[in-house]
Amino acid sequence: MVGGVKWEHGHRMIAEFIGVLIIVMAVWTQRVEPRKWMRTLGWISLAAVVGQGVLGGITVLNFLPWAVSTAHATLGQLIFCIVVVMALFTGRDWLQAPQPIAEHGAHPGTTTLAALTAICVAVQLILGAAFRHYGMKLLPHLIGACVVTAMLCWTVVRVLTRYGTVPHLRKPAQLLLALLMVQLGLGFAAYLTRLTYGHNAIQPWQVMVVSTVAHVAWGALVLAGSVVLAIQSRLMISAHVPGTAVRHASQKAIPA
């Protein structure tokens, strides 16, 4: 347990623990969840974590090929998003959400804009993983950061100006804006420690490791926040039904 061995072994132990938790979650979902699509989502989470383990093994056996390592990093963040949305779909806020709001005169629609933003964040995380594993240069990741920042700001401003009185939309939008500000700072810190001050270091500096890991972890929170906002926008906003439409209780999640 010297050098990086304890970190790699610790990573494997935590991964095994998470795998056990997801197995329990998937099986429990099959037992108590009446919605077929939620039960399917439970199996998808289980299949994803199995695939994540396979990718991790391939990464180690083949000495960190960048394409496999990038896929491994990306799938891990997608698994996190799946768990977050399962918590959302089984929460009381989903069950007790008010009737949808009719949207007019917004181009693109808020639901479309939020979905595109979540997709941009996911692509940006892929670019970041590819850069960390030496699969591409930094420039695509920097361009992606500019695009994601613009999309997130556009989406947050749209939500707060049009639906600032709707808690189901205002709260995730405000949280997403705060996450973005911190992520930009962490990205700048990771850039300075990795490429400006530490590029000639024989071994990675501790501050380099901490800033990079924090940047990656916070990126997962930004992705999850953008996905939650996209889902909440789809729940609360409709361009096809009048504002007086009644939402049927049978379409809601059950509280877990």
Q: Is the peptide bond before 108 cis (omega within 30 degrees of 0)?
A: yes
60, 96, 169, 239 from 248: Cα distances, Å: 50, 11, 20, 18
The whole-number pLDDT of residue 254 equals 38
**Nearest CA to 237 among 227, 247, 248?**
247
At residue 28's C-alpha, the angle toward residues 27 and 34, to 5°, is 105
Give the 3-state secondary structure percentages of the chain, helix then strand then coil, rounded to 5: 75, 0, 25
**Helices 139-163 + 110-132 axis angle, to 10:** 160
29 burial type by CB count under 10 A (0-12 exposed, 13-18 middle, 19+ buried):
buried
Q: Which tokens sit at 238?
A: 């409709």
Q: At what angle do helices 110-132 and 206-236 cross, to 10 degrees?
A: 160
pLDDT of residue 201: 67
CA pair distance 224, 78, nearest whole angstrom: 9
The pLDDT value given to residue 238: 82
The whole-angstrom separation of Cα 164 and Cα 156 is: 10
Q: What is the DSSP letter of 2?
A: -
DSSP state, residue 193: I
Give residue 199's pLDDT.
Answer: 67
pLDDT number for residue 3: 65
Which residues, 6+ apart, have CB-to-CB distance to 190 below 8 Å?
208, 211, 212, 214, 215
Residue 172's contacts (CB-CB under 8 Å, 6 or more residues apart) are 225, 228, 229, 232
pLDDT number for residue 186: 96
- Spell out, as residue ranges, where the chain has pLDDT lower than 50: 243-256
